[in-house]
Amino acid sequence: MKQKRFILPETEIPKQWYNIQADMKNKPMPPIHPGTKQPLKAEDLFPIFCEECARQELNQTDAWIDIPEEVREKYAYYRSTPLVRAYGLEEALGTPAHIYFKNESVNPLGSHKINSALPQAYYAKKEGVTNLTTETGAGQWGAALAYAAKVFGIESAVYQVKISYEQKPYRRSVMQVFGSQVTPSPSMSTRAGKDILTRDPNHQGSLGTAISEAVELAQMTPNCKYTLGSVLSHVSLHQTVIGLEAEKQMAMAGEYPDIVIACFGGGSNFSGIAFPFMRHTILEGRQTRYIAAEPKSCPKLTKGKFMYDFGDEAGYTPLLPMYSLGHDFKPALIHAGGLRYHGAGVIVSQLLKDGLMEAVDIAQQDSFSAGVLFARAEGIIPAPESCHAIAATVNEALKCKETGEEKVILFNLSGHGLMDMSAYDQFLAGALQNT
């Protein structure tokens, strides 16, 4: 029998995260304080973020950062995750390419977000923080943070974009099972929320408004810090456990990827799978292509401009040097909620500018077609976000079919779609817009 899944023992869970900033020839430009226009220092972030996360955010010198043993113990609840050879998908496509995927959907919450939620909650606990706040759109990050906070004995409060709070009730229930206080945003519990509701009582909420509320709560509550599940460099750092494991597992399979692919919202799962391989490209000149797959309706990498822009809609955050569509860009209401963000992380933005990676855009219907093809071939229903990575993989595998090349393609399956079945219902009924 041909080996299908490659599994590492718990002892092989990485002991360090990989910080690509240390190896980059052109470092990301610094975030700028919007008031003073000065480059941001870690201390400037301490009032809002945990200190260790703030230091990791701006660390451009240490290539390897120790993973605390307490975090590794919690990683062991679901890591290592399997690396899977997608024989079913290869057969369905009739491609000579060898397709592998790293399955980050197999954990209590169903997406890769937990890889950063656990260390963020751990550092909070260690620094004497008692409460964490965050915002969530579709709910994957909120669910991961709710669980991680519970694991380390911290209270959590999540502002969920109101329209998702109403449309995705089960993700809200998941957060509540883990003891999180979930508030639809905009709410009357903060000044920012009250202002918005006074102007527009029917406001449906957005990530921008939810960020403003979560940050305000963190500032007003003693011993309370704010957390973010994507975009920032320390989040990408934590996600490198994905690629570090995958590298060892590809070696078990006797292969090395020619192409590495992930979907792209703010960049955390892409960074997680790609950076450990990219270090061989930067340091040893190894030829690998890295492809970020973004939605056609929110094309910051393929159509955005490199600029200093705010991370949130309201303009409260530091100015970040990144590819952006503008912080007031309003993406269409596609089902891949995790990809509806106007900007990209600063590391990935620099890498794209330097030509170390590529980006493609995928239309919504094409993403679901690829997702259904994958589900029927491999037995896993992917998250709408992950469908974008699958669509990009299918495109590359079909090129191999034309040329006869046996390329090795690795993609990240960032999450499962079992809480997104209403989106699949619409796709199967032919009722999806191909935006």
Ligand X SMILES: *Cc1c(COP(=O)(O)O)cnc(C)c1O
Contact status: 385 vs ligand X (CB under 6 A): yes
Q: Could you tell me the smallest distance in angstroms from the CB atom of residue 341 to ligand X?
A: 8
Q: Could you tell me the smallest distance in angstroms from the CB atom of residue 293 to ligand X?
A: 10
Contact status: 397 vs ligand X (CB under 6 A): no
Contact status: 311 vs ligand X (CB under 6 A): no
* Contacts (CB under 6 A) with ligand X, residues 330-359: 338-339
Whether 289 and 260 have beta carbons less than 8 Å apart is answered as yes
> How many helices and strands (H and E) does the chain possess?
18, 15
Q: Could you tell me the smallest distance in angstroms from the CB atom of residue 240 to ligand X?
A: 12
Contact status: 414 vs ligand X (CB under 6 A): yes
- Nearer to ligand X (CB atom), residue 31 or residue 415: 415
Which one, of 339, 113, 62, 352, lies nearest residue 239 by Cα? 113
List the x/- string, 104-143, binding to ligand X by CB under 6 A: -------x-x--------------------------xx--
Q: Whole-angstrom Cα distance, residue 34 to residue 25?
A: 27
CA distances, 243 to each of 182, 347, 413, 419 (Å): 32, 16, 12, 26
Whether 59 and 65 have beta carbons less than 8 Å apart is answered as yes
Q: Which stretch binds ligand X (CB under 6 A): 124-132, 306-314, 316-324, 379-387?
A: 379-387
- Nearer to ligand X (CB atom), residue 65 or residue 263: 263
Contact status: 261 vs ligand X (CB under 6 A): no
Q: Which stretch binds ligand X (CB under 6 A): 1-9, 258-266, 274-282, 305-313?
A: 258-266
- Nearer to ligand X (CB atom), residue 129 or residue 320: 320
Whether 411 and 392 have beta carbons less than 8 Å apart is answered as yes
CA 224 to chain centre: 24
SS3 label, residue 294: strand
- Nearer to ligand X (CB atom), residue 141 or residue 165: 141
User: Site for ligand X (CB under 6 A): which residue of 193, 243, 265, 321?
Assistant: 265
- Nearer to ligand X (CB atom), residue 265 or residue 276: 265
- Nearer to ligand X (CB atom), residue 53 or residue 339: 339
Q: Could you tell me the smallest distance in angstroms from the CB atom of residue 4 to ligand X?
A: 23
Contact status: 238 vs ligand X (CB under 6 A): no
- Nearer to ligand X (CB atom), residue 18 or residue 192: 18
Q: Which stretch binds ligand X (CB under 6 A): 164-172, 245-253, 268-276, 373-381?
A: 268-276
What residues have CB less than 8 Å from 178, skipping those under 6 apart? 143, 146, 147, 149, 150, 156
Q: Whole-angstrom Cα distance, residue 335 to residue 350?
A: 28
User: Site for ligand X (CB under 6 A): which residue of 415, 423, 424, 432?
Assistant: 415
Contact status: 268 vs ligand X (CB under 6 A): yes
Contact status: 295 vs ligand X (CB under 6 A): no
Q: Whole-angstrom Cα distance, residue 429 to residue 136?
A: 28
User: Site for ligand X (CB under 6 A): which residue of 119, 266, 299, 371?
Assistant: 266
The size of the interface with ligand X (CB under 6 A), counted in residues, is 20
Contact status: 243 vs ligand X (CB under 6 A): no
Which one, of 116, 111, 182, 122, lies nearest residue 149 by Cα? 122
Q: Which stretch binds ligand X (CB under 6 A): 148-156, 205-213, 214-222, 381-389?
A: 381-389
* DSSP string of 162-191, one letter each residue: HHHHHH-HHHHHHHHHTT-EEEEES-TTSH
Contact status: 80 vs ligand X (CB under 6 A): no
Whether 381 and 71 have beta carbons less than 8 Å apart is answered as no
Beta strands 224-226; 259-263: pairing state = unpaired
Q: Could you tell me the smallest distance in angstroms from the CB atom of residue 132 to ligand X?
A: 18
Q: Which stretch binds ligand X (CB under 6 A): 22-30, 67-75, 245-253, 263-271?
A: 263-271
Q: Whole-angstrom Cα distance, residue 185 to residue 321?
A: 28
Q: Whole-angstrom Cα distance, residue 172 to residue 151?
A: 18
Kindly give the residue spans of alpha helices, DSSP state H, lying in 265-334: 268-284, 300-303
Q: SS3 breakdown of the chain: % helix, strand, coil, rounded to 5?
A: 45, 20, 40
Q: Which stretch binds ligand X (CB under 6 A): 166-174, 195-203, 259-267, 275-283?
A: 259-267
Contact status: 386 vs ligand X (CB under 6 A): yes
Whether 182 and 158 have beta carbons less than 8 Å apart is answered as yes
Contact status: 233 vs ligand X (CB under 6 A): no
CA distances, 424 to each of 170, 263, 288 (Å): 16, 18, 33
Tokens of 261: 């692919």
Binding site for ligand X (CB under 6 A): 111, 113, 140-141, 230, 263-270, 338-339, 383, 385-386, 414-415
